[in-house]
Amino acid sequence: MKDTLRYRLCQTNPALGALHANLEDHLERAQAAARDGVDLLVLPELSLTGYFLKDQVPEVALDLDAPELERLAGTTRDGLALVAGFVERAPDGRCYNAVGWFEGGRLAHVHRKVQLVHYGMFDEGRDFAAGDRYETVRSRGAACGLLVCEDAWHTDGALLYMLDGAEVLVVPSASPARGVLESDEGGLASVAAWDRLLATHAMTTTSFVLYANRVGWEDGIGFSGNTAAYGPDGERLARIDGVEPGCLDGELRARDLRTQRTMTPLLRDAKPWLLRRELDRRIRAGLDDDAVTARDEEE
């Protein structure tokens, strides 16, 4: 990780289905970030399209060589890294809820959301195929892992990134506002839950966490904002309190990461071989029929 990584997290309200209007907004934000010396600019999940797309998904889906993505990549030629959400159309026709990492004038990496949501108000599997891997981005600024919203609610992604040497977990999100806390502080229960979750990921992986959540309304659902950054000790570094559009600027320092990982050497003491052994044992015992079938098909 470079000595100091300057980040900007954008809490935006993308117009639903308005790909080109949202693209112009992205281009302006990227150009401003580059002028301001920002190293990493992060926008929310599906920031180019809006979230509740439903039947609009095929209309706004982009091939990875689409001119819209090339224009975004062009804003990163002079040192900026940009994270933005879009609908990817794969060569086989499937569509993915994707996040692109743009750096060095190109689309350097694509993460396809692994954990699609199928509960409550969500039915993402209706429109999207699921991703199947977590690959660390080796950026010029830091080694980073991408977790798209629901990905962060499952421990496997953060753990895999930790084991692969990630220093920063980047979490673009489109999380709705839900519930009210029954306490003196009040506030949204969903915001409090995200705060606990992200702080836990930061502390247990001894990594920085950058969370960019959207705001606005779609289909009668409001999004909860409260974009935030966390240090590798689990402490919240900064947050946009509220549900208005805005930007959160800050710096991540490599010495803080080194200090925390020296004081709490969780990566040093991790035992991934034990996890693999226990998973293999359960598969062999026939406790997971789906896993057995998948293994047999591979063999």
Which residue of the set 149, 150, 167, 218 is catalytic? 149
Rounded Cα distance between 216 and 22, Å, is 14
Which residue of the set 10, 45, 68, 88 is catalytic? 45
CA angle 131, 64, 10 (to 5 degrees): 75
The residues near 223 (Cβ < 8 Å, ≥ 6 apart) are 13, 51, 174, 175, 176, 177, 213, 214, 215, 216, 217, 243
In one-letter notation, the amino acid at residue 86 is: F
For the question of residue 247 being annotated catalytic, the response is: no
Residue 201: how many other CB atoms lie within 10 Å: 25
Task: Please tell me the total number of residues recorded for the chain in this structure.
Answer: 299
Which residue of the set 103, 113, 167, 218 is catalytic? 113
Rounded Cα distance between 17 and 54, Å, is 10
For the question of residue 182 being annotated catalytic, the response is: no
What is the distance between the terminal CA atoms of the chain, rounded to a whole angstrom? 39
- Packing angle, helices 67-74 and 19-35, rounded to 10: 10
For the question of residue 149 being annotated catalytic, the response is: yes
Residues with catalytic roles: 45, 113, 149
